[in-house]
Amino acid sequence: MSEPESSPDESHVLRREFSLWSAFAFAFAFISPIVALYGIFGLALAAAGPSFWWGFALVFGGQMLVALVFAMLVSRWPLEGSIYQWSRRLLGTSYGWFAGWVYMWTLVIAMATVALGAAGFVANIAGVEAPSGGLRAAIALAILIGGTAINLVGRGALKVFMTASIVAEVIGSIGLGTWLLLFHRQNSLSVLFDGGGGAADTWSYLTGPFLIAVAFIGFSFVGFESAGAIAEEVHEPRRYLPKAVLFSLTFIALVVAYSSLAIILAIPDLDAVVAGSVADPVYETLTAALGHGIAKPVEVLFVIGFLASFLALQTSASRVIWAYARDGALPSSAVLSRLRGKARIPVVAILVTTVVGGALFLLSTVAGDIYSLMVNFTTGGFYLAFLFPLIGFVVVLARRAWTDGAFTLGRATVPVAVVAAVWAVLQMLNISWPRAVYDQRYLDWSVWIGVAVVVAVGLAILMSVRHRIVSVAVIDDLEATDERDDDKVVAGE
């Protein structure tokens, strides 16, 4: 395999400025509890009734198995780009390239989707209750430009915003949830066993409405892997990143389930919400319980959560692009891999995400229901991206070629890896199954349409760059040297 004109050197080394707390805050903000709850609550409730709540336990259990596998992988290979790097080292360059390609586009589209979601809240705060598509796109573009500016300032600004996000999440999710449970309960716990209607038996409910709700809930519990996307910017990554992956997933699951329970029990007219006649059950419930005077400041907390999620998504996407470029695995890699300033920030990679995000906003104003297509592809894209390292890990275990890193499950490794891969396959099929949900039939196929386009374009690009991708040994040696230097700094030598 030939190498690009200039192999990576010390100028391609990122600065390690993140701690365990920073990595946790980053993964936590990636899919924040506020974003996760607001994004899926109304959809899941309308699909399966209040008993959709039990889906949180099912999805959390499956995702915890995935997180355990990822914790093992990141402790072995703490490299920028996470899923791309792990998959490449498990089953080869082409396999890893497509894993990262799917993940990269999922991140960029999720970034744009979150910005559009935040735009709706900003419009509401400004007094515009039903913003047009053009206004939402304009607000989203302003969010995109502002987020890009924060990312370009450096990691210090990013850390401050992520910490502020966690404070907002605690107040907005746990604080409000507790207040609703204590003073505004409208429904009993028995409603958690309501769903499917009287005409549906248990089996029909579990294989129909409940599975649809589980597909929606799947969006709530992704993002924990993003701690690995910034691996080369974290001090002592083999020690800290597995903890960040597992802690962020657990904390998000607890907060989302708790907040969701509080809102379900506080809904004034549950039948109307389940029937789909309430457009925004979260906002309507908060307004009914707290009044418009309190609901508006709460929306400000929601905006902070969305903005933090946007920043984490943009950062992750830019780091995956940069990791590809450092390997020579993208066109114009020499430009994309440059690090600028004292902070050594991948400026060009960040700007690429800004341009693509802006293009998606423009598309949302001229195309059909592009927003629903983006949401659907994002959820399916995460699980498809997860499948690459999960299947690769099972194959390597079957070949008896795995060497444990700092974090290991010992004898439980094989059963956990197999069940995690099976779970991800089933959830991917559940999410992407073309059920007749939308009036526009193409939206029911949106995951597969998105995958087909991404794979077709990716195949053409891979064929053009495959001959000049740098060997994994070059990158591993560079990272190992940098990690040894970091260990000396941490030890005070």
**DSSP assignment of 246-308:** HHHHHHHHHHHHHHHHHHHHH-S-HHHHHTT--S-HHHHHHHHHH-HHHHHHHHHHHHHHHHH
Amino acid, res. 392:
G
Helices (H), 154-267: 155-169, 176-183, 202-207, 209-217, 237-266
Checking if the pLDDT of 265 tops 70, the result is: yes
The answer to whether 309 and 172 have CB atoms below 8 angstroms apart is no
Residue pLDDT, tens place only, 116-155: 888 888 888 887 877 887 888 899 999 999 999 998 988 8
> How many other C-beta atoms lie within 10 A of the C-beta of residue 299?
19
Give how far Cα 171 sits from Cα of 114, 292, 427, Å.
20, 18, 32
On average, the pLDDT of the chain sits at 86
Residue pLDDT, tens place only, 69-112: 999 999 999 999 899 999 999 999 999 999 999 999 999 999 99
CB-neighbour burial class of residue 223 (10 A; exposed 0-12, middle 13-18, buried 19+): buried
Closest C-alpha to 384, from 426, 418, 428: 428
Checking if the pLDDT of 2 tops 50, the result is: no
d(CA 391, CA 389): 6
Torsion of CA 93, 94, 100, 105, to 10 degrees: 150
Checking if the pLDDT of 183 tops 80, the result is: yes
| The predicted structure's pLDDT at residue 7 | 59
| The predicted structure's pLDDT at residue 163 | 84
8-state DSSP, 92: -
Closest C-alpha to 310, from 35, 58, 86, 54: 35
The answer to whether 393 and 65 have CB atoms below 8 angstroms apart is no
- 3-state DSSP: the chain helix, strand, coil percent, rounded to 5? 80, 0, 20
Tokens (6 digits) for 93: 């360059």
| The predicted structure's pLDDT at residue 486 | 59
Amino acid, res. 173:
S
Closest C-alpha to 309, from 74, 115, 81, 104: 115
Tokens (6 digits) for 68: 């355990």
Residue pLDDT, tens place only, 38-63: 778 888 888 888 999 999 999 999 99
Amino acid, res. 145:
I
Q: At which residue do the structure tokens 């498809």 appear?
A: 384
CB-neighbour burial class of residue 291 (10 A; exposed 0-12, middle 13-18, buried 19+): exposed
Summarize the confidence of residues 374-399 as an average pLDDT. 92
Residue pLDDT, tens place only, 206-223: 778 899 899 889 888 888
Percent of the chain scoring above 90 in pLDDT = 44
| The predicted structure's pLDDT at residue 3 | 43
Checking if the pLDDT of 185 tops 80, the result is: yes
Residue pLDDT, tens place only, 220-249: 888 899 888 889 999 899 999 999 999 999
d(CA 385, CA 454): 12
d(CA 51, CA 64): 22
Tokens (6 digits) for 237: 């990554």
Closest C-alpha to 12, from 79, 97, 84, 96: 79
Which residues have a Cβ under 8 Å from the Cβ of 92 and sit 6 or more positions away? none
Main-chain dihedrals φ then ψ at residue 185, nearest 5 degrees: -75, 125
d(CA 148, CA 142): 10
d(CA 57, CA 66): 14
